[in-house]
Amino acid sequence: MKHIYTFLCLFLLSGVGYAGDYFNANEQGVAIDGFDPVAYFELKKAVRGSDAHQASWQGATWYFSNEEHTKMFLADPERFSPKYGGWCAMAMTGGQVVEVDFENAWTADVSGLYFNVNKDVRLRWLRGYNRNVKKGNEKWPETRLAIEEGRVMIHRRALMPSYYNE
């Protein structure tokens, strides 16, 4: 009986549950933790947006650092929104859903905006970039559906070993 309770606690703490829409959003429904998705491309850095410059798209609220970025996003949201819903690109190669480091583990290039769980994983992902993007693209449709239907385990950074959060 003790083992059943232990398993149940680990199961509940692992992040299993209904994820709602597929974008990586906080409890308030703000996508990518309030970072400005356009800034990764235009300013080449992670910049926090604000609720003074926001837009709704695909069931999430998106924050921007200025009105120009808001307009750019709304003109072409597919270009600026993150691939794989803003979940870890390396984990997506295996169909896994893992929270990311929006500030330090990102890549923005002509193919899109990608996030990873940390800087080290980002570097490993970049070493096999073409292969990893191909695998992620293959896994994403099924994984997206699983997120939307609430059938996915979301691996939370706070519950991972400390080396994932460095």
Strands (DSSP E) contained in the chain are 50-57, 60-64, 97-98, 106-109, 112-115, 154-155
Q: Each residue's pLDDT tens digit in the chain (166 positions)?
A: 444 333 333 333 444 333 348 999 999 999 999 999 999 999 999 999 999 999 999 999 999 999 999 999 999 999 999 999 999 999 999 999 999 999 999 999 999 999 999 999 999 999 999 999 999 999 999 999 999 999 999 888 776 666 555 5
| pLDDT for position 29 | 94
Cα–Cα distance for residue pair 111/136, rounded to 1 Å:
13
- Domain range holding 126? 19-165
Number of domains in the chain: 1
Structural domain includes residue 12: no
